[in-house]
């Protein structure tokens, strides 16, 4: 998008800033309202039911929350709640396809879950709320911007306010959600992130969940040990994500009714909460406790395993929320376990907060697939270049290990399990979701196998085509014949054995991507498109038409990412 007219440039600048300001203010109030609402409800529940949470406390609060979550599902007619993976998918779409009702209700479902004490994260729901807010603004004030700009600005505002990290909000929107960078969109996204942070700190003050001491550690030693511990952090990140997927598979069993799924969720979480209240809820206080070396080595291991288990049950047995906040506590516990162990064996003289920070960055960064964003989060939350540098090595190795053994991120794997592959970018996604019949020719000629060779030659000459689709008496697809195979042949097509019954064909429900792969091995004039259930040819397509369709999708991607 190039603007040569000064009036158009001014309109573009004003529109970008306006979008950023609206979404920045909205994201700030949403993020802080979400957090403060959970704190107020949780504190009131504890005062009302029990001073110290026990099994009966969790049975009551979790059951009440689950009722509200259940009725939230009814309001959206049983559709799945939407999270970060949906934000990524919607940001890759050319049109504004966000379901506003599902998006807003998903945020309320996460609020109910967290308020009831379930082990879920707040940042995932806030990210999708930012997506929904951006989609709403796109429909309300439809400037000439692509939907991903609105989504990116909404996401940046949510992360900026939620973490108190405006640079991280800007980078997260590009690295984890949009997956591309555009000079044209940076103004709106940066404005949203900056405004959101300014409003949050101006009204609510500092909400930092990570408070560290001064930089009194041996940076070289931390870097060396982070290098060695990187695969361990990566393995823990994979364990966390595989646990989520395993429990999701268990909960989706047809043998398990909704009532029993809810019952299992409430009972198991109540038992976990009774013995390990530290792993329930958002976990901010526990992260602070881990950072301040408040727990023994054995208790840290219990926190690590307990948090993975509690989150896996919460997110798959009735409740809804994010995976980012739990990953922060899992990473903190992992870093603290390594640090405490090294103190025990005498390598460290005392507990190292830098290693806890390294564990947070390595595990959480691998889960969300945004390593650069995690380094910036550490930098902004600790106000320390040394802590950011200390976290970099373990983070890089952890992310690399997870990339090879698991996938780009938990969200990418979630999408892949739904049949959505975004690894090839927008062009690949567009091609996968484009029906090949859109580019096919439905008016074509066929010839029956009982017809003579002479009739086939005559028809080819009449329509100026060297290949024909051959069918039987019932009209079912048999194969193709071509002019070269008919040379010096007589009799019917069947008796002359001129029908290629093993010819290349495309299924009627194939995507443009599948057609491209088939066409790469094709030699000939036309490719038949066959209805697989009826075994009938429904259209034909040429290689040229397939490649033209590919170029149109590629141009669509380029045009979208330039704007």
**pLDDT band, very low/low/confident/very high, at 560 (cuts 50, 70, 90):** low
Higher per-residue confidence, 141 vs 17 = 17
Distance of alpha carbon 308 from the chain centroid: 20
Q: What is the average pLDDT across 77-91?
A: 91
* pLDDT score for 108: 95
* pLDDT score for 311: 96
Q: What is the average pLDDT across 90-100?
A: 86
Look up residue 194 and give its two tokens. 């900056």
What secondary structure does DSSP assign to 410-423, as a single string? Answer: HHHHHHHHTT---T
**What's the fold here for domain 432-553?**
CBS-domain (3.10.580)
Give pairs for 487-492: CB < 8 Å, separation 24+.
489/453, 490/452, 490/453, 490/454, 491/452, 491/453, 492/449, 492/450, 492/451, 492/452, 492/453
| Cβ-based burial of 132 (10 A; exposed 0-12, middle 13-18, buried ≥19) | buried
Question: How many residues in the chain?
Answer: 563
Reported as a single tens digit per residue, the pLDDT across 336-370 is 999 999 988 888 888 888 899 999 999 999 999 99
Sequence-ordered list of residues with C-beta below 8 angstroms from that of 326, at least 6 positions apart, any chain: 119, 120, 121, 240, 283, 307, 308, 311
- CATH for the 6-204 domain, from 2.60.40.10, 1.10.8.80, 3.30.420.40, 1.10.3080.10: 1.10.3080.10
Q: Is the pLDDT of residue 159 over 90?
A: yes
Q: Is the pLDDT of residue 42 over 70?
A: yes
Nearest to 133 by CA among 112, 111, 153: 153
* pLDDT score for 346: 84
* pLDDT score for 105: 95
Look up residue 199 and give its two tokens. 């409003």
**3-state SS class at 538:** strand
Q: Is the pLDDT of residue 437 over 90?
A: no
Q: What is the average pLDDT across 290-319?
A: 93
Reported as a single tens digit per residue, the pLDDT across 313-344 is 999 999 999 999 999 999 999 999 999 999 88
Question: CB atoms < 10 A from the CB of 10, how many?
Answer: 11
Asked whether 249 and 283 are in contact (CB, 8 A), the reply is no
Higher per-residue confidence, 486 vs 562 = 486
* pLDDT score for 314: 95
Reported as a single tens digit per residue, the pLDDT across 483-523 is 888 888 888 888 888 888 888 888 988 888 888 888 877 87
Nearest to 106 by CA among 319, 249, 416, 313: 319
Q: Is the pLDDT of residue 373 over 70?
A: yes
Burial 232-250 (b: 16+ CB within 10 A, else e): bbbbbbbbbbbbbbebeee
* pLDDT score for 181: 80
Asked whether 304 and 327 are in contact (CB, 8 A), the reply is no
Reported as a single tens digit per residue, the pLDDT across 455-480 is 988 988 888 888 888 989 888 999 89
Q: Is the pLDDT of residue 1 over 60?
A: no
**pLDDT band, very low/low/confident/very high, at 215 (cuts 50, 70, 90):** low
**C-alpha atoms less than 13 angstroms from C-alpha of 254 in its C-beta half-sphere:** 0
**C-alpha atoms less than 13 angstroms from C-alpha of 37 in its C-beta half-sphere:** 16
Lowest-confidence segment of 20-24, 36-40, 62-66, 547-551 by average pLDDT: 547-551
| Cβ-based burial of 77 (10 A; exposed 0-12, middle 13-18, buried ≥19) | exposed
Orientation of helix 284-291 relative to helix 324-344, angle to 10°: 20
Provide the terminal-to-terminal Cα distance of the chain, rounded to the nearest Å.
Answer: 5
Between the CA of residue 156 and those of 126, 127, 190, 369, 462, what are the distances in Å? 10, 8, 8, 16, 62
Q: What is the average pLDDT across 542-558?
A: 80
Q: What is the average pLDDT across 188-213?
A: 87
Domain coordinates of the chain in residue numbers? 6-204, 219-421, 432-553
* pLDDT score for 562: 62
Reported as a single tens digit per residue, the pLDDT across 101-110 is 999 999 999 9
Q: Is the pLDDT of residue 421 over 90?
A: no
Q: Is the pLDDT of residue 444 over 90?
A: no
Q: Is the pLDDT of residue 237 over 90?
A: yes
Q: Is the pLDDT of residue 12 over 90?
A: no
Superfamily (CATH) of domain 219-421 = Clc chloride channel (1.10.3080.10)
Place of tokens 């906040």: 325
Q: Kindly state the helix (H) or strand (E) to which residue 447 belongs, with its residue range.
A: strand 446-448
Q: What is the average pLDDT across 240-262?
A: 92
Measured at the CA of 35, the angle between CA 34 and CA 36, to 5 degrees, comes to 95
Sequence-ordered list of residues with C-beta below 8 angstroms from that of 443, at least 6 positions apart, any chain: none
* pLDDT score for 2: 58
Asked whether 223 and 190 are in contact (CB, 8 A), the reply is no
Q: Is the pLDDT of residue 50 over 70?
A: no
What sections of 98-256 are H helices per DSSP? 100-115, 123-140, 147-163, 166-172, 186-204, 219-251
* pLDDT score for 51: 62
| Cβ-based burial of 310 (10 A; exposed 0-12, middle 13-18, buried ≥19) | buried
Q: Kindly state the helix (H) or strand (E) to which residue 37 belongs, with its residue range.
A: helix 6-49
User: Whole-model pTM?
Assistant: 0.86
Mean pLDDT of the chain: 88
Is 219-421 the same fold as 6-204?
Answer: yes
Cα separation of 428 and 558, whole Å? 12
Place of tokens 């429904």: 538
* pLDDT score for 335: 94
């Amino acid at each position: 998008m190039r603007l040569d007219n000064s009036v158009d440039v001014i309109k573009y600048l004003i529109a970008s800033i306006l979008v950023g300001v609206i979404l920045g203010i909205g994201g700030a109030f949403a993020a802080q309202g979400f957090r403060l609402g959970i704190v107020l409800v949780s504190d009131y529940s504890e005062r009302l039911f029990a001073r110290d949470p026990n099994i009966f406390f969790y049975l009551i609060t979790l059951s009440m929350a689950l009722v509200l979550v259940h009725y939230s599902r009814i309001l959206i007619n049983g559709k799945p709640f939407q999270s970060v993976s949906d934000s990524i998918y919607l940001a890759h779409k050319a049109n504004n396809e966000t379901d506003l009702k599902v998006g807003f209700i998903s945020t309320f479902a996460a609020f109910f879950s967290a308020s009831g004490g379930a082990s879920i994260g707040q940042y995932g729901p806030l990210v999708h709320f930012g997506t929904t807010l951006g989609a709403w603004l796109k429909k309300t004030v439809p400037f000439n911007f692509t939907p991903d700009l609105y989504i990116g600005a909404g996401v940046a505002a949510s992360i900026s306010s939620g973490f108190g990290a405006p640079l991280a909000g800007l980078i997260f929107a590009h690295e984890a959600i949009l997956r591309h960078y555009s000079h044209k969109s940076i103004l709106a996204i940066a404005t949203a992130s900056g405004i959101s942070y300014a409003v949050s700190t101006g009204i609510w003050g500092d909400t930092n969940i990570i408070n560290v001491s001064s930089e009194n550690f041996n940076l070289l030693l931390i870097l060396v040990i982070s290098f060695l511990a990187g695969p361990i952090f990566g393995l823990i990140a994979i364990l966390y994500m595989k646990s989520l997927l395993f429990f999701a598979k268990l909960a989706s069993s047809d043998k398990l009714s909704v009532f029993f799924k809810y019952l299992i969720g409430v009972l198991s979480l109540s038992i976990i909460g009774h013995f390990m209240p530290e792993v329930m809820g958002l976990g901010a206080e526990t992260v602070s406790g881990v950072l301040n070396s408040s727990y023994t080595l054995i208790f840290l291991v219990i926190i690590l395993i307990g948090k993975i288990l509690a989150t896996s049950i919460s997110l798959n047995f009735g409740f809804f929320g994010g995976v980012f906040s739990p990953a922060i506590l899992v990473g903190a516990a992992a870093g603290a376990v390594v640090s405490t162990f090294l103190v025990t064996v005498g390598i460290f003289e005392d507990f190292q907060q830098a290693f806890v920070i390294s564990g947070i960055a390595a595990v959480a960064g691998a889960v969300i697939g945004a390593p650069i964003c995690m380094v910036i989060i550490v930098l902004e939350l600790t106000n320390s270049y040394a802590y950011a540098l200390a976290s970099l090595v373990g983070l890089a190795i952890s992310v690399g290990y997870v990339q090879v053994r698991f996938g780009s991120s938990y969200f990418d794997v979630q999408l892949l399990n739904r049949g959505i592959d975004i690894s090839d970018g927008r062009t690949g996604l567009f091609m996968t979701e484009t029906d090949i019949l859109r580019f096919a020719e439905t008016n074509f000629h066929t010839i029956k196998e009982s017809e003579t060779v002479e009739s086939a030659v005559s028809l080819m000459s009449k329509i100026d085509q060297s290949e024909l689709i051959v069918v039987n008496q019932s009209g079912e697809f048999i194969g193709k014949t071509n002019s070269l195979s008919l040379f010096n042949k007589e009799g019917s097509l069947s008796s002359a054995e001129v029908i290629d019954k093993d010819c290349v064909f495309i299924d009627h429900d194939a995507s443009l991507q599948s057609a491209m792969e088939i066409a790469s091995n094709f030699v000939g004039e036309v490719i038949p498109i066959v209805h697989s259930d009826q075994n009938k040819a429904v259209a034909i397509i040429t290689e040229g038409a397939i490649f033209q369709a590919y170029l149109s999708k590629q141009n669509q991607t380029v045009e979208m990412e330039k704007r």
